[in-house]
Amino acid sequence: MEPTRHDVDRLVGPATPHFAYQLRARVRELVADLPESHDVRRYAEEKIALLDRLGHASSKAEEGGREPQTRPGWGEIPSSAPADRPLRPGPGSDP
């Protein structure tokens, strides 16, 4: 069965930066047998580029600004420590 735009959207829609590259690979695999001129293949290539930007932008911890700690919900973010200043292990955790 030939893939559709809906199939591409089902893969890309729930994308998060953490899984962007894995989803990009799945989209590539989904449309690999379609000719480059196929509408769904061209659509998928646009989404592949979007996933690449999403994954790249979030994987460069040393670049970009920091989120302000005054941002609503900051206290509930478990991974709010930056890579260059990680949280100290809590009591009872492995060193």
Domain ranges of the chain: 5-60
Rounded to two decimals, what is the model's pTM? 0.61
pLDDT digits (tens, 9 = 90+) for 34-47: 999 999 999 999 99
Answer with the residue of higher pLDDT: 81 or 4. 4
Mean pLDDT of the chain: 78
Residue linked to tokens 């001129």: 37
- pLDDT tens profile 57-71: 665 545 556 667 777
Confidence class of residue 24 from pLDDT cuts 50, 70 and 90?
very high
8 Å CB contact between 23 and 11 = yes
Cα–Cα distance list, 66 to 15, 24, 51, 85, 86 (Å) = 22, 27, 22, 12, 14
Round to whole Å and give the CA distance between 5 and 30.
Answer: 11
Average pLDDT over residues 82-89: 57
